[in-house]
Chains A and B, each alone.
Chain A
Amino acid sequence: MKDNVAQIILGLTKSFKTMQMYGMNHSSFRHFFEPFYQKTAEHLRDHNEISFKVEKFQMVHDDQVVYKEEEMDMSIAFRLFKDGIRNISFMSGLTSDELLLFVDVISRPAKDWDVALGLWECNFTHITFYVIEAEEVPDYRVPDVPIQYVDYDEKLKQLILREKIDIDAVIIPDLDLDEVEDLKKCISIEEKIAILPVVIKTLGDYLLTDRSEEIIDGLIEILESCVNMKDFYNARRIAYKLKDIPKINFIERFENETTIASFRETLNVPEDEVFNEFLAFLGFFGEKSIPFLMELMPFIERTDRLNALRHRVAHIAEDNPSPIASFLHSKEPGTVLNAINILGLIKPADIAKMLDPLVIHPNREVRLAVIEALGNAGQIDIVIKYINDPDVEARIRSLRILSKFKRPEIYPVLLERIKHGSFLRLDFAEQREIFSVLTANAGDDFVETMQGILFKRKWFGKKKYRVMRRLAALALNQIGTDESIAVLKNGMQKRNKDIKFACETVLKERSS
């Protein structure tokens, strides 16, 4: 036993010294600490507890001095003693982490460091210690009580009258099982739920009656800590309470690159609720944050979340979209795409001007985004340019958009397109979209022209004409006037199988 204790003390001394010199991650510390823990745990398995009485410069175990060091800075005993620790015990079940923390706490630089407080705040389970306050009990004398007659019965009467109590009620303070369970539940709620929401509510309620500087600062401090902890639920609640207080820009402190970059970890969290709280909190951000939020976007993995963030940024940039426009010149196509998309949501009046330089952008996705954005904004002057884009998808999308608008001047342009031999080389989908746009912008001769295509094999050779008849029939159906329907019905009577089939098919679709 004696040897064991000596080895434990030796382990403690060496761990203490190496911790002071090198810190807990250094191999020298580990070299001494690990055997120290092993020895202590081994001892505790057999003895349950090892306890040391702490004196000024020495520690005593079983009435024997097992440690002595009179050099104040180097003395473990003195460090403990000076802060009032008079006994220290390690109990069976001691973990390596607890012992490590213990060595850490007692090794910290002594100036202003209260070892007892440090140990208390560790909440050890298997290390106990006994602290005394250094000060002696003052020579306190309770005040003398002069003899004074008090009429017990009268007092009792007053008490019953004032407090309306039944003085003879039987008191049985035993709790039944349900009450014990209730109480346990309360305790577990108190221990587990964050106090934060309650404090936010308290400070918020206080603000309703008094906009005291301390309260505002307190809320801002909590806000900062919420943002640091990525607790956007509470951050949003605080921001909501602060938003109407004049002359306070509580959000400015977060509108910087470092803070916003730190939000990256929230972008792909599994819980949608967390992400949505984050988005809601961003609602309080201003223009300054836009560049940093734009930089966040490439890190989002889910498209729906990217779109949601774009919406949020669009909301922020609503009044002044120019910070977004500056990203149109980015070399990163992803960033350009985000900027186009956001502008499409904001729909600024000069969006066409902003996006015009991108019409011939080499990146197909960018061109598609421009079409979408302009389409959303109803700015189709540029969209028209895309009907000759080298990419089929771009052409189709632009046509789809154009089909929603009335621009009669494109009717002759498209008509010429149809007449051109190259039209037959296009995909059916594109051909169909061109006919749709044509229908949408139909001129006076539309039905007549379509009838010509349907019945008379205008413009092209016999072989390709089945497709053209089908497209014309679709267009006639789409425009849906009495005249056009009459043409289709007439077509159904034709002997030509292609005409008959094209007309029958669209009319059947129509009736269904």
Chain B
Amino acid sequence: MNIYIAGKTVVGLLYPLFKAVQVYDVNNNVVINTAQKFISGIEELLSTFSSLEFVRYRDYVFFNKQRLKYEIDSYANLQFMNTQLQMLNIKSITFKRGITQEEVIDFASIFKEDRITFQRKLAEKKFQHIDIEILKSDKEPDEPIENGQMAKRTYFKALKVTKNLMQNLWTGRPVDVKSSRRVIYGLVDSISRDEFGILALTTIKNFDEYTFNHSLNVGILSLALGQRIGLDRKNLARLGTSGILHDIGKVEISKELINKIQKLTNDEWETLKLHSNYGVREILKTRGLDETSMFAITVAYQHHWNYDGTGYPLREKEDEPTLFSRIVRICDSYDAMTTARGYQPVPYLPHFALRVIWSNQNRLFDPILAKVFTQLLGIYPVGSCLELSSGEIGVVMRQNPSTIDLPNIKIVVDSSSNKIDGRMIDLAAHTEIKIIRPTYPQIYGINPAAYFL
């Protein structure tokens, strides 16, 4: 069994145990049975691993140094564990060989206590086969520089490669496929290490180079959504490539038409719609026909197919968009709505864009994916500007996986409307500060992307 599966298994065994001690007395059979199940499960794992260590770092839980990702099938278990660890200020828990039933029940029973009682009881208990390390202060350790730096390097490298790829196609020069493959794996790595880190960079929107940024952003958003639904690395690499290449057919359409500000004529609109077809041709030209490009071809062709059977290019009744196409359909729409363009000088607020997606599930978008996308981005996606009850303005810096409507924000405008480099606030921990409503960053001359660089 690999570490990742093992980690998910232990979390899956812990959750019912914690729940059982919350409801029943420690001598109740339900608790005893759940504890026995837990022990037999982890004993099996301890024959492979010398110990089972959970570490909470930022909003993530790591198992034996591997990050456990929020996936649909383990979301509730992991969210519970994360919240408990955060609430009790626990940095790490390690289960060791030789653990007994008594220890397990004792351990679970103190977990239902508040932070102070928990720490007192923990000091009394002195577990032999369970190590629990408490954070020295409420403040979590700083993120290692290279993580954030890594995300940025990966993002800008990917942007450069995407730009080169498209420019080379425009000018008929050969395309460096190896670089694109490498970039995709870099993005997959980055997403699996810290999806919020790289997701934040999708707030970088470039009016002049819309197509490049948009393609990359769609690739990243698709990867994050793909990871959330549990795709493996191989499929993530395919999905990321498909996301980045989804609009590649636009290289065959004149830039004047693509950037046209005025309303398109019917003919122009029909021409623009052909980019889905052209995408197929461009991918074949660029990459030939490996397995990944087959996925990309399908997505390029289908990314304007709606969930209800409408959309373009025309299709037969029985033709359904693939899962990847449905993912890219959502991410493409979201990024397009939240980006300023000639005909849309003030883009949708991320919050509104998400509402549009939510309201159009079943019609334009796959309803299940729309839900997962909302879970992923939160009610106020990263980069949103929020008016707060304190009179300040904050930019959403990252989500709280356990409370999707209470993100971590950075104060960027004080209550006197002065731009400031303010503090970080976890709104889940500071319930006294309320969100009044999302707001337009233009009002304050703010570019949210600046806070992620």
Tell whether, in the assembled complex, residue B281 and residue A195 are in contact, meaning their CB atoms are under 8 Å apart. Answer: no
Which residues of A sit under 8 angstroms from B355, Cβ to Cβ? 163, 165, 167, 169, 171
Segment at the interface with A among B129-137, B216-224, B290-298: B290-298
Interface flag for B285 (CB, 8 Å): yes
Which residues of B sit under 8 angstroms from A146, Cβ to Cβ? 442, 445
CB distance from B53 to the nearest CB of A (A): 8
From A48, A132, A198, A215, B284 is in contact (CB under 8 Å) with A215
Contact with B along A435-446 (1 / 0, CB 8 A): 000000000000
Known: A135-B156, A143-B447. A198 touches B323 (CB 8 A): no
Most buried by B among A182, A196, A206: A206
CB distance from B280 to the nearest CB of A (A): 6
Interface size on B, residues (CB 8 A): 89
Interface flag for B229 (CB, 8 Å): yes
Segment at the interface with B among A114-122, A277-285, A391-399: A114-122
Segment at the interface with B among A20-28, A185-193, A404-412: A185-193
Which residues of A sit under 8 angstroms from B285, Cβ to Cβ? 214
From A136, A152, A163, A173, B371 is in contact (CB under 8 Å) with A173
Contact with B along A411-444 (1 / 0, CB 8 A): 0000000000000000000000000000000000
Give Cα distance in the complex from A222 to B150, angstroms: 38
CB distance from A112 to the nearest CB of B (A): 8
Segment at the interface with B among A123-131, A249-257, A351-359, A448-456: A123-131
Tell whether, in the assembled complex, residue A117 and residue B440 are in contact, meaning their CB atoms are under 8 Å apart. Answer: no
Which residues of A sit under 8 angstroms from B346, Cβ to Cβ? 148, 150, 155
CB distance from A6 to the nearest CB of B (A): 20
Tell whether, in the assembled complex, residue A218 and residue B284 are in contact, meaning their CB atoms are under 8 Å apart. Answer: yes
Interface flag for B114 (CB, 8 Å): no
Interface positions of A from 156 to 200, Cβ below 8 Å from B: 156, 159, 163-167, 169, 171, 173-175, 179-180, 182-184, 186-187, 189-191, 195-196, 198-199
Interface flag for B154 (CB, 8 Å): yes
Interface flag for A93 (CB, 8 Å): yes
Tell whether, in the assembled complex, residue A173 and residue B375 are in contact, meaning their CB atoms are under 8 Å apart. Answer: yes
Which residues of A sit under 8 angstroms from B404, Cβ to Cβ? 173
Which residues of B sit under 8 angstroms from A1, Cβ to Cβ? none
CB distance from A80 to the nearest CB of B (A): 15
Tell whether, in the assembled complex, residue A116 and residue B324 are in contact, meaning their CB atoms are under 8 Å apart. Answer: no
Give Cα distance in the complex from A371 to B234, angstroms: 61
From A152, A159, A218, A222, B440 is in contact (CB under 8 Å) with A152
Tell whether, in the assembled complex, residue A136 and residue B73 are in contact, meaning their CB atoms are under 8 Å apart. Answer: no
Segment at the interface with A among B34-42, B54-62, B179-187: B179-187
Interface flag for B204 (CB, 8 Å): yes
Which residues of A sit under 8 angstroms from B445, Cβ to Cβ? 144-148
Interface flag for A303 (CB, 8 Å): no
Q: Which residue of B lies closest to A189 (CB)?
A: B323
Interface flag for B92 (CB, 8 Å): no
Which residues of A sit under 8 angstroms from B235, Cβ to Cβ? 190-191
Q: Which residue of A lies closest to B150 (CB)?
A: A132
From A128, A138, A147, A195, B442 is in contact (CB under 8 Å) with A147
Interface flag for A92 (CB, 8 Å): yes
Which residues of A sit under 8 angstroms from B369, Cβ to Cβ? 183
Give Cα distance in the complex from A133 to B157, angstroms: 7
Which residues of A sit under 8 angstroms from B371, Cβ to Cβ? 173-175, 179
Which residues of B sit under 8 angstroms from A131, Cβ to Cβ? 185-186, 189
Tell whether, in the assembled complex, residue B73 and residue A191 are in contact, meaning their CB atoms are under 8 Å apart. Answer: no
Give Cα distance in the complex from A488 to B446, angstroms: 116
Give Cα distance in the complex from A116 to B206, angstroms: 30
Interface flag for A497 (CB, 8 Å): no
Tell whether, in the assembled complex, residue A218 and residue B289 are in contact, meaning their CB atoms are under 8 Å apart. Answer: yes
Which residues of A sit under 8 angstroms from B372, Cβ to Cβ? 173, 175, 183
Interface flag for B230 (CB, 8 Å): yes
Tell whether, in the assembled complex, residue B2 and residue A125 are in contact, meaning their CB atoms are under 8 Å apart. Answer: yes
Interface flag for A70 (CB, 8 Å): no
Tell whether, in the assembled complex, residue A180 and residue B447 are in contact, meaning their CB atoms are under 8 Å apart. Answer: no
Give Cα distance in the complex from A206 to B146, angstroms: 46
CB distance from B308 to the nearest CB of A (A): 15
Give Cα distance in the complex from A125 to B440, angstroms: 45
CB distance from B321 to the nearest CB of A (A): 10
From B75, B206, B379, A171 is in contact (CB under 8 Å) with B379
CB distance from A245 to the nearest CB of B (A): 16
Interface flag for B359 (CB, 8 Å): yes
Which residues of A sit under 8 angstroms from B204, Cβ to Cβ? 142
CB distance from A375 to the nearest CB of B (A): 48
Tell whether, in the assembled complex, residue A147 and residue B444 are in contact, meaning their CB atoms are under 8 Å apart. Answer: yes
CB distance from B45 to the nearest CB of A (A): 10
Give Cα distance in the complex from A180 to B285, angstroms: 38
Which residues of B sit under 8 angstroms from A49, Cβ to Cβ? 64-65
Give Cα distance in the complex from A155 to B257, angstroms: 26
Tell whether, in the assembled complex, residue A140 and residue B156 are in contact, meaning their CB atoms are under 8 Å apart. Answer: yes
Tell whether, in the assembled complex, residue B298 and residue A199 are in contact, meaning their CB atoms are under 8 Å apart. Answer: yes
Q: Which residue of A lies closest to B183 (CB)?
A: A133
A–B complex contacts, Cβ < 8 Å, 21 sampled: A48-B49, A49-B65, A91-B3, A117-B185, A120-B237, A123-B232, A123-B233, A132-B150, A144-B447, A145-B446, A147-B443, A163-B359, A165-B358, A169-B358, A171-B374, A175-B368, A180-B73, A184-B73, A206-B277, A209-B277, A221-B288
Nearest 8 Cβ contacts at the A-B interface = A165-B359, A147-B445, A173-B374, A120-B185, A150-B440, A148-B442, A173-B371, A133-B157
Interface residues of A (CB under 8 A from B): 45-49, 89, 91-93, 114, 116-117, 120-121, 123, 125-126, 128, 130-133, 135-138, 140, 142-150, 152, 155-156, 159, 163-167, 169, 171, 173-175, 179-180, 182-184, 186-187, 189-191, 195-196, 198-199, 201-203, 205-206, 209-210, 212, 214-215, 217-218, 221-222, 225
Kindly list 9 other residue pairs between chains A and B, CB separation below 8 angstroms, not including A92-B48, A167-B352.
A48-B49, A48-B64, A123-B233, A143-B447, A149-B443, A169-B359, A175-B368, A183-B372, A222-B289
Interface residues of B (CB under 8 A from A): 1-3, 48-51, 64-66, 72-73, 75, 146, 149-150, 152-154, 156-157, 160, 178, 181-182, 185-186, 188-189, 204, 206-207, 229-235, 237, 277, 280-281, 284-285, 288-289, 291, 294-295, 297-298, 301-302, 313, 315, 319, 322-324, 346, 348, 352, 355-356, 358-360, 368-369, 371-372, 374-375, 379, 404, 437, 439-447, 449-450, 453
